Structure 1
């Protein structure tokens, strides 16, 4: 039976390496915890961030918390409201469609460039990242999610590293953080069956075979599948995207293992 995987963005690059600056380490940890709470919906879209409450919950000082929140503002996951504080950025299908359009434009062109200019080192790195991704079995447990984030983004970044661009990677990581908020809802759709491992395998094999056009089309289809699934669920009435303090609503159907990009 084919293995299946979620596509989840990497947070490993957010963590400090040497621990030489304890205040920086605490800020990084707080930033990552807040970011994950937003992505998981524990801090719902549109909800107000109450600094004093969060400071006590996370056991950090007000300065540390505000620095972490400021980083989330730069990620566009949090919106500053002038003197009224901060709020989790709302979500909408129009936003996801724009994120998807940008990802397709950047990633497919990046893959084409990578295939044209990447050498043996690129091929070996791509093989290594794909092998690591393929070695993990589905279903994914909650405690495995950070590991999956690293493996999936490592693979997607490896696809583009034949002609590496620091700016491309920065932009794609930002887009990926936002896309993950929507994938959370796709992962909970009843009756959703999807072999994401097969999608990754197709992209990988076409890239190494030098079939540029087909590889780009496979990558585009892979990126677009989750938005298409969510749009269809919205039209069918099986999904309602939440506003502030609302939880996602799903119509009851027979349950199957949920899969998302």
Structure 2
């Protein structure tokens, strides 16, 4: 049986093709980047004012976000942004590890020269982008692309589909960690380099250990800090809300 070739992964262009996709992307980014708060009610009439889009289009976009688990339904009361909690982050972290470590090992085993070439390009682009407030969005896109390429050597469309949803939630918590713990410094550049070099060397065990430590780092920082609620709350309040600078314009 011949090996299936893993599809080449292209970075996201940020150019939605339809109005619904455009609105979906804007609301999704506002949730992930912290402009819409965890637990925030998403009233359609207020979203119309915020985004300047009709109610029907907004409902379709918000419904797509329910599928991504970034928005929850409240029965007959409408929608709210999915809350965050340490328990949720722990669950997300373990699921990411379950999927990504196996996919990384298989990528190293099956990816071949084409995969390594793509991984080299993704790493060099990420490594050349400084992490600053001004280019945070660009860095996040390159970071997501690097992690996606890492697991793309395994020819599984479903793995990538599920991973993309998890990656959005991972970015959301990563931004929370940055906002809550501005003085905490991680050597993220060094972490990426360790993963990259082990993968390029074909060392599955070393690459998996480096990736596991990298994925667990955000959880470990937030668990030690104690600012996140242990379980999901209806709405973020107090120091957490202040630290994340939520503007409240959708309430």
CA distance in 2, matches of 1:221, 1:240: 21
Gaps of at least 5 residues in structure 1 are: 1-9, 20-24, 253-261
CA distance in 2, matches of 1:249, 1:194: 21
Go from structure 1 to structure 2 and tell me whether the alpha carbon gap of 1:249 and 1:95 turns closer, same or farther (over 3 Å shift).
Answer: closer
Q: Which of 121, 143, 150 in structure 2 is aligned with 1:159?
A: 150
Q: Which of 207, 210, 221 in structure 2 is aligned with 1:218?
A: 210
CA distance in 2, matches of 1:48, 1:202: 41
- 1:53 — aligned with what? 46
Q: Are 2:66 and 1:73 equivalent residues in the alignment?
A: yes
- 1:123 — aligned with what? 116
CA distance in 1, matches of 2:66, 2:53: 19
- 1:208 — aligned with what? 200
CA distance in 1, matches of 2:131, 2:238: 26
- Give the TM-score normalised by structure 1: 0.82
Give aligned pairs, total.
230
- Give the TM-score normalised by structure 2: 0.85
CA distance in 1, matches of 2:64, 2:138: 23
Gaps of at least 5 residues in structure 2 are: 1-9, 244-251
Cα offset for 1:245? 5.1
Runs of 4+ with deviation above 6 angstroms = none
SS at match of 2:72: strand
Q: Are 2:164 and 1:176 equivalent residues in the alignment?
A: no
Q: How large is the Cα RMSD of the aligned pairs?
A: 2.2
